Amino acid sequence: MSRLPVVDLTQLHATSTTRTDALAELARICRDVGFFYLTGHGLSQAQLDAMLTLGRDFFALPDSEKRAIQMRHSPHFRGYSGIAAELTRGRPDQREQFDIMREESAAATRHAPWQGLIGPNQWPAAMPQLKPTLLAFQQQLSDLAQTLLTHLLASLELPSDALANTYQAGPYLHTKLLRYPAVPNLASPHEAQRQGVGAHKDPGYLTFVLGDSEAGLEVETDAGWLLVEPLPGALVVNIGELLELATDGYLKATTHRVTSPGTRDRYSLAFFMAAQLDAQVPVLQLPDAFKALTPGISTDPDNPLLRDVGMNTLKGRLRSHPDVAAAHYSELDIAANGTSSSATRQGQNSSDAKQGVAHAA
């Protein structure tokens, strides 16, 4: 495979054999590759360009403006993170980012640790247009993701609403503006400086990526790492771990990474749609023809998948952002299986978090 396959959403809306063939191809792509370009999505090139410009404008703000809304100020994991602030498998990512989720009030009382994820976003005072523009785009992508998800379920000969009860009360939405600073090609032992984001799988149902003309995203295939070349007007879509869980491994959450650009900064926007935080991901009953090809979910003893969406999400956030973990969750000891208890050694928890050990392993 020399490039990602293309899925045209308009073909999935079509009738008769056109849709039938398109659904069969969608199922094959999501099983065999787990990544594809999405066209026919209804978003104009002007709108996509405007969102990338918005990201460039944000990262051009003075450092003092960005530091005022640092993520470590937010127990909800929202706001600005500087270069090397986020970890992937314990190694710092060479990127800066701005994270938002759904705009919400913080939970008055936390009955479960994951309720700390619920709360307001932080916004830069110097850029008032960012809030309405980015929230509106996030909602557009949420609507698009839900539409694509119904087609994907139909491609598996399941009811299109088979997962609706896991997100109809409000899916967990997460949007990132990203800047990957240019790093010259460096030989080992400096290769870690080119980790834009380390190899990982995404935790939700679906991910959309909008990138500029600078390549950097790489997808793991049987033949090695495939560089995803930008396709004008297209979104890059990948399957998340919750869909792998729901289909018992029939659908593939594919490992991917970003390598820092060599000569020019790279700007992108990533959107993640997951189930609502209070949901449990079910095992869907696939037709026999699909079930026969179901290998079971991938296993990672260092980071097992949990069907409890809230705890699975919190586990990942604590692991990626040890500074937020130390500042706001030092009393928690979250085991790999997602169970939590009050830490008996709060100081040790805080120390571990600062080292990137974060008990959400």
Residue 356 pLDDT > 80: no
Lookup: tokens for 99? 């994270």
CB 81 within 8 A of CB 97: yes
The whole-angstrom separation of Cα 169 and Cα 236 is 26
Q: What was the pLDDT predicted at 361?
A: 27
Confidence category of residue 344, pLDDT binned at 50, 70, 90: very low
Asked if residue 359 has pLDDT above 90, the reply is no
Which residues lie across from 98 on neighbouring strands? Answer: 80, 177
Element (H, E) at 7: strand 6-8
In the chain, where the domains are located: 6-302
* pLDDT per position as a tens digit, 115-135: 999 999 999 999 999 999 999
CA angle, corner 221, sides to 220 and 225, nearest 5? 50
- Taking 70 as the threshold, does the pLDDT of residue 236 lie above it? yes
Rounded distance, CA 83 to CA 158, Å?
A: 43
pLDDT at position 355 over 50: no
Most confident stretch, 54-68, 99-113, 254-268, 325-339: 54-68
299 close to 229: Cβ distance less than 8 angstroms: no
Q: In which band, very low, low, confident or very high, does the pLDDT at 303 lie, cut at 50, 70 and 90? A: confident
Mean pLDDT, to the nearest integer, of 226-235? 97
Is the pLDDT reported for residue 249 higher than 80? Answer: yes
Band (pLDDT 50/70/90 cuts) for residue 186 is low
Cis peptide before 230 (omega within 30 of 0): no
Contact predicate 178/268, CB 8 Å:
yes
- For residue 349, pLDDT over 60 is answered with no
DSSP label of 76 = T
pLDDT at residue 113 is higher than 90: yes
Task: Look up residue 299 and give its DSSP letter.
Answer: -
Reply yes or no on whether the pLDDT at 13 is more than 50.
yes
User: Which candidate, 79, 74, 81, places its Cα nearest to that of 117?
Assistant: 74
User: Looking at the domain 6-302, which fold is it?
Assistant: Jelly Rolls (2.60.120)
Identify which of 124, 117, 123, 87 has the alpha carbon closest to the alpha carbon of residue 328.
117
CA angle 107, 108, 110 (to 5 degrees): 65
- Please check the confidence at residue 255 and state whether its pLDDT lies above 60: yes
Amino acid at site 10: T
Q: Please tell me the distance from the alpha carbon of residue 142 to that of residue 165, in angstroms, as a whole number.
A: 16
Report the mean per-residue pLDDT for the chain.
Answer: 90
Structure tokens at 254: 């594919």
Q: What is the pLDDT of residue 191?
A: 64
Within 13 Å of residue 286, how many CA atoms lie on the same side as its CB? 24
Confidence of residue 17 (pLDDT cuts 50, 70, 90): confident
Predicted confidence at residue 209, as pLDDT, reads: 99
**318 backbone dihedrals φ, ψ, rounded to 5°:** -65, -40
CA distance 73 to 114: 17
Q: Looking at the predicted structure, is the pLDDT value of residue 338 above 50?
A: yes
Torsion of CA 164, 167, 170, 175, to 10 degrees: -130
* DSSP classification of residue 39: E
The pTM assigned to this predicted structure is: 0.91
- The Cα 358–Cα 339 span in angstroms is 14
Given this model, what pLDDT does residue 193 score? 72
